[in-house]
Structure 1
Amino acid sequence: MTEEEQLTPEQTTEEKEKPKGDESKKTLTPEQKQARKKKIIRKSIIATVILGIAIGAIFLGPANMDPGQYQVELTITLDETDYFTSFNITMAGSANTASVEYYKTLGTSNYSAIIIANQAYKSSTHSKVEFNVGIVDGANNSIIDIQLNQYSGNINGKNMDRKIRPIDDKTSYSVILGEDISVAYFSMMIPFKSGLALSLLVLVAGLWITEIVPTIVGAFLVPIVVVISGISTTSEALQPFFDPVIALFFGGFIIAEALKRHNIDRRLALGIVSKASIRPSVLLLMLMAVSAFLSMWMSNTASAAVMVPLAIALVSQIEKGGKEKDIGGFRKALVLGIGYAATTGGIASIIGTPANPIAVEGLADLGPNFEISFLKWFAYGLPFVFIMLFVVWGYLLAVFRPKVSKESLADAKIVFKEDLKKMGKMKTKEWITVVIFLITIALWLLAKPLKDWTGGALALSSGIVALIAVVSIFATNTLKPKDVKNINWNALFLFGGGLTLGEALEATGIGDWIASNMGIIEGKHFILIALIVGGISLLVTAVASNTASAAMLIPLVIPIALSLQIDPRLLALVVAIGSSIDYALVFGTPPTMISYSTGYFSVREIFRIGSILDIVGILLLSTVSVLLWVGFGLVTV
C-alpha cells in the first residue's frame, strides 16, 4: 500500500549505536566519538550545499509580472496559413473581471478573431492571465472545427517574454455578436514570488533525497516558508494537511491496522497457502497475487511482513522433509517474488500508495472532467499490476528455475493447515472488522453510482466514507485509541507537505514557467513524452521515497501536459505509477528490504535482477498501459 519511511544504512547504524537503559551513562569510545563527528561534519556539508543551491534558485525563477501594460501576440493557423494579431492586457494591484472584447481582422483573409479578456488582472500569487479567442467567418458565423494546436501565443512586456497556449475549448458569450461562440481558452498562472517557490522546491527536494534530517522536517518546513514569504495564508498552507485525500489515507491506515491487529491478513494468507497448488510455479504466482492483493488495502510493509515469514516457513518445512537436495532457487524466487508483488500491488488502488491520491488530487483541481473516482482508478492501475505481476513471475522463474517436488509441497502444506486450525473460528471482533472493511470497500466503489442514482442527495466522498469506517472501528472497540500510534503518521505529514508544496508551485506560476520552456519535447509523440516522464520518475524515486517523488513531480507535469496540449491525466498517472516502480535498490522500498533481510540475497544480486524489472516496468507503463488508457477512452490524445 503506502511506502513506509525506511531507515537508511547510516540511520540503522546510529540506532544500533544508541545506548539503552543504564548503558546511556557510559562514555563513548574515541572511535565512536570520531565516527559521530564525521557524520555531523558530512551532514553539515550536505546541508550547506543544499542551502546554497536553494538560495541560488531564487534568482533562477521567472521575474514577477508586475503592474503595467503587456502585449499578447497571437498566431492562428487557418487553411495552412499563419495569421498574426495582438492585444494589450493590464496588470494591476487588484483584478477587474469585467470583460473587454476585441474584434481583429486576420490579414486579408475572410476570418476575424474575437478576443474576450478581463479589464485588469491582479499581480499576485494565486492569480491567472486568462482569455478566450474565437474565430468567425465573413458572415460572423463561429468556426467550430479549429483544433487547439492551431493557436499559440506569447506575452511580452517589462521582464516578461513567455509562451501561452490554449488548454481547453468551450463556448463564451460575445457582446459584439450578441451570441455564444466557440472559443479557445488560454490560461497562465501569473509568475509572482516564483523564485521563492523554486528555492523551496530545491530545498525540500534536497532534504527529502539526502535524508540528512527526518523527512517530516521538510514536510513541515513547506507551510512555514510559504506563510512567512507571503505565498499563501496560514489557512491555505495548512488546509492540505487534512485534505479529503488525507482523510481517505488516514481511514485506510486505520482499517489496515484493524485487519493486522485481529490477524485477518494472516488468516487469509494461511487459508490460501493451505489450499494452493502443489506446482512450484503456480504456488509462487498465488503467493505473489495474495501479497499484491493485501498491498492494495494495507501498507506494502505489512503485506510483505505477513507473507515473507510464511514463505520462509514453507521452505523450512520442505527442508525438514529431507526429500529435496537443493531448494535455493525456489526459496529465492518465493521470498523476492513476494517482496516485489507487495511493491507492485499498491499501484492498483487509490489508497495503495500515497503517489496515487497525490495524482488524483492534482487532477481534481482542474475540474470535474479530470476527477478520478475510487472505482475508476482500478481501470488505470489494475491492468498494469496484472501485467507486471506476470512479468515479475516469469522473470523470476527464468532467473532462479525453482525445482521442488509436488510431494514435498504437499507435505509442507499440512503444517499450514494445522496453523490455520490453531487460529480457531473467527471471533466477534474479527467478524466486525471484516464487515466494516467490506462495507467500506463497497461504499468506495459505489460512491459515484449512489450519487447519480439519488440525484446528488447521497454524495459521499471517499474521504467521508473512510472517516465513517474510522468511527465504526473505534465505536465498536475493534481498535483502541492507543492503537493510533501504530499508523504511519510520517507518511501522512509528508503527504500534506507535498500537497502544500504543489499548491505553492502552482500559485506562483512555477509549473507554467517550466511548461513554457519545454519546447524540446513539443510536438513529440505522446508515447515518447510518457517514456521521458516515466524515466524521470524512475530516477527520482531511486533517490527519494515514492511519496516525495510524486509530490515534487506531479505539480510540474500537469501544467507541462496542458502546455503541450496533452491530457494531463496521462502524465500525472505515469508519474504516480512510475514513482512506485522501484525493484533495484535494497532500500528502495520496505518489501525489498524485508526480502533482503532474510540473508538469501546480496545487494548486487537484487540490483541486477531489479534493474531489469525497473526498465521493463517503465517501458510497459509508457507503452502498453498508455495505449490501453487511450484505447478505452480513459485519456485523450
Structure 2
Amino acid sequence: MSFASPRSSRRLPIPTPVQRWGLLLGVFAFVAALLVEIPGLEPAGQRMLAIFLLAILLWVTEAIPLYATAALVILLEVLMLSDQALMATAGKLPPAASYFAALANPVIMLFLGGFLIADGAHKYGLDRSLAAIMLRPFAGNARRSLLGLMTITALLSMFVSNTATTATMFAVVIPILAALPGGRARTGVALAIPVAANIGGIGTPVGTPPNAIALAALQAQGQGVSFIGWMALAVPLMLILLLFAWWFLAYRYVPKDASLGLELDADFDRSPAAILFYVIAGTTILLWLTEPLHGISSSTVGFMPVVALLATQVMGADDLRRLQWPVLWLVAGGIALGTGIGYSGLDVWLIGLVAWETLPLALLLLLLVAIAVGLATVISHSATANLLVPLALSLAVGLPIDTTAVGVMVALACSLAMALPISTPPNALAYATGEVPTSEMILSGIVIGGFGALLLALLMPTVWGALGLL
C-alpha cells in the first residue's frame, strides 16, 4: 500500500506572469508614493496613498489572494497610520483598534448570520426543495420556464450567496439542459442562472458583499440604511432588470414554440434539527423585513441566528469552518481601507484632482457607475466596491444628491458587471458547464449590464426622490 507524501500538500502555488508583475508594480508604487514628495498631500495622506496604490495593484492582478490583501491593508494602516505607527507624524492619529475593529464591524455580523443561514438552507435541502415547489407553475413553455428559473434564482440570491444559489440552481438545471437539443436554447438557459443570481444579489444587504461594503461606509458617516430601506432602493431596479434580462435571453436564445419539462420533487427534511432551522431562519428574515417596527438593527438581528443555531446544535463547528471567511475578511479590509482614507485626508486630495463640479450631475453619476461596472468586470466585485465606495461618498459631499444614493449606486453597479467568466463566480460556474461560449457571455453581459447601468445612473435617483426614499 502506498501513501501520498504529506509534502505534496505543502507546495506553494506558482504565480502567473500577471501576478508577478502585479506584486512588483505594487511594491514599486508603494515605495514611490512614500519617497516622492506630492504637492498638497500631508504625510498621513501620502502614507495612505501608498497603501491605496498597493491595494489596487494587488487586487487587480490577484498577486496574492484577495483576502490576504485585505489583511495586509489593515496591518499597514496600524503600522503607518495609527497611534502605534512605526513612523512618527504630525497630528493626532487614530488608535490601532479603529482599524482592527473592521474585523468585528456590525456589517460583518450581518453577513455572518446571512452566511450561516445560507449554509443551513443547503445542509437541510431547503433551497432545492423551495426551488422545486416554486418552479412547478412555470413548466411547459420554454420561455415561461426560463422566466421561472430566473425568478426563483433571483429570489434565492437575495438571501443566499450568488455562488451558492447558482450552484443549487445548476443542480436543478443540468438534467434539463441534457434534455434540450444542443445549441442556442442550452446557452440561453445556462446563461439565465448566473445573470439572475447577479441581479437578485442586489436586492438585500446580505445578497452580495458590495452591498455590505456600502452599508458599512454609510454607517461610518452616520447614514445607516435599514434592511427594508435597502430593499426599497434596490428591488425596483432588480425587478426591471430581471424582466429585461429574461426578455433578451428569451428573444435571442429560446424559440417561441420550444418546451421545457421541469419534473422536480420537493423533499423537505422533517427532522427536529431541520424544523428548528426553518423556524430560526424564518424568524430572522421576518425580523430583517420588519426592522422599522421593532427597531433592532439588521446587524444585531443577523447575529441572533448565529447564537441560536450554534446553541441548539442545529449547526456545529464543521458548519462554522465551511463559512465564507475569506469573503468576510475581504469586506473587513474594505471597511478598514475606507477608514484610513477618511482619517488621512486622502479622499479630499483625490477628489480635488478633478473639477467634478463642472460636470453635469447626470454625467457624473453615469461616469461613476461606468467606472464601477468596468472595473468590476475584470476584478472582484468586492474589491471594486472596496476601492470605489469610500471615494464616491467623499465625492458626493457638496453635490445636489443624497450621499446615500451615491453609495448605493456604486455598490449596485458592481453587481452589474457580468460580461466575462472571471467577472463573478456564478459566471465561472456557467462557463464550466461547456454550454456558454465566452462571446455569448460577453454579449449578454454588455447588453444586460449596460441597460442596468443606464437605469441606475439616469433613472433610479429620480425614482428614489419621487418616492421619498432619500
Q: TM-score, normalised by structure 2?
A: 0.91
CA distance in 1, matches of 2:286, 2:310: 20
Match of 1:564 among 388, 399, 402: 399
Task: Please name the residue that 1:115 is paired with.
Answer: none
Match of 1:577 among 368, 388, 412: 412
Q: Please give the secondary structure, in 2, of the residue aligned with 1:222.
A: helix
Match of 2:285 among 424, 441, 460: 441
Asked whether the equivalents of residues 516 and 560 of structure 1 are also in contact (C-alpha less than 8 Å), the reply is no
CA distance in 1, matches of 2:286, 2:336: 31
Asked whether the equivalents of residues 195 and 418 of structure 2 are also in contact (C-alpha less than 8 Å), the reply is yes
Asked whether the equivalents of residues 584 and 611 of structure 1 are also in contact (C-alpha less than 8 Å), the reply is yes
TM superposition shift of 1:427: 3.0
CA distance in 2, matches of 1:265, 1:60: 56
Match of 1:475 among 301, 311, 327: 311
C-alpha distance 294-424 of structure 1, shift in aligned 2 (>3 A):
closer
TM superposition shift of 1:60: 6.3
What is the letter of the counterpart of residue 22 of structure 1? A
C-alpha distance 41-281 of structure 1, shift in aligned 2 (>3 A):
closer
1:355 matched to 2:210: yes
The correspondence of residues 477-496 of structure 1 with structure 2, limited to 5 A, is 477-496=313-332
Asked whether the equivalents of residues 327 and 404 of structure 1 are also in contact (C-alpha less than 8 Å), the reply is no
Unaligned runs of 5+ in 2: 83-93
C-alpha distance 234-425 of structure 1, shift in aligned 2 (>3 A):
closer
Please identify which structure carries the higher strand content.
Answer: 1
Asked whether the equivalents of residues 384 and 414 of structure 2 are also in contact (C-alpha less than 8 Å), the reply is yes
What is the letter of the counterpart of residue 124 of structure 2? H
C-alpha RMSD of matched pairs (Å): 2.3
CA distance in 2, matches of 1:24, 1:470: 35
Match of 2:378 among 528, 543, 546: 543
1:364 matched to 2:208: no
Greater relative CO, 1 or 2 (CA 8 Å, sep 6+): 2
1:598 matched to 2:411: no
What is the letter of the counterpart of residue 217 of structure 1? A
TM superposition shift of 1:428: 2.5
Asked whether the equivalents of residues 333 and 402 of structure 1 are also in contact (C-alpha less than 8 Å), the reply is no
Unaligned runs of 5+ in 1: 1-19, 27-34, 65-190, 320-325, 452-459
TM superposition shift of 1:380: 1.0
Deviations, residues 197-221 of structure 1 (Å, cap 9, x unaligned): 0110010111111011111221111
Task: Please name the residue that 2:100 is paired with.
Answer: 238
C-alpha distance 332-404 of structure 1, shift in aligned 2 (>3 A):
farther
TM superposition shift of 1:272: 2.0
CA distance in 1, matches of 2:357, 2:124: 53
Q: Please give the secondary structure, in 2, of the residue aligned with 1:610.
A: helix
Deviations, residues 399-437 of structure 1 (Å, cap 9, x unaligned): 11335555xx4xx33x42xx43xx366333222222111
Match of 1:285 among 121, 125, 147: 147
CA distance in 1, matches of 2:310, 2:95: 34
Match of 1:222 among 55, 73, 98: 73
C-alpha distance 60-277 of structure 1, shift in aligned 2 (>3 A):
farther
Please identify which structure carries the higher helix content.
Answer: 2
Asked whether the equivalents of residues 541 and 579 of structure 1 are also in contact (C-alpha less than 8 Å), the reply is yes
CA distance in 1, matches of 2:16, 2:159: 39
Deviations, residues 173-217 of structure 1 (Å, cap 9, x unaligned): xxxxxxxxxxxxxxxxxx551011011001011111101111122
CA distance in 1, matches of 2:21, 2:210: 31
Matched length: 454
TM superposition shift of 1:342: 0.6
C-alpha distance 21-346 of structure 1, shift in aligned 2 (>3 A):
farther
Task: Please name the residue that 2:23 is paired with.
Answer: 47
CA distance in 1, matches of 2:360, 2:279: 47
TM superposition shift of 1:259: 0.7
TM superposition shift of 1:497: 0.9
TM superposition shift of 1:22: 2.4
What is the letter of the counterpart of residue 290 of structure 2? L
Asked whether the equivalents of residues 291 and 307 of structure 1 are also in contact (C-alpha less than 8 Å), the reply is yes
C-alpha distance 261-211 of structure 1, shift in aligned 2 (>3 A):
same
Asked whether the equivalents of residues 516 and 563 of structure 1 are also in contact (C-alpha less than 8 Å), the reply is no
CA distance in 2, matches of 1:289, 1:355: 22
Task: Please name the residue that 2:231 is paired with.
Answer: 378
Task: Please name the residue that 2:110 is paired with.
Answer: 248
Match of 1:266 among 128, 136, 142: 128
TM superposition shift of 1:481: 1.4
CA distance in 1, matches of 2:424, 2:51: 26
What is the letter of the counterpart of residue 211 of structure 1? E
The correspondence of residues 94-493 of structure 1 with structure 2, limited to 5 A, is 191-231=42-82, 232-316=94-178, 318=179, 326=181, 328-367=183-222, 370-403=223-256, 405-406=258-259, 409=260, 412-413=261-262, 415-416=263-264, 419-420=265-266, 423=267, 426-451=270-295, 460-493=296-329
CA distance in 2, matches of 1:352, 1:42: 31
Identity across aligned pairs (percent)? 29
TM superposition shift of 1:365: 2.5
Asked whether the equivalents of residues 54 and 202 of structure 1 are also in contact (C-alpha less than 8 Å), the reply is yes
What is the letter of the counterpart of residue 494 of structure 1? L
CA distance in 2, matches of 1:201, 1:491: 19
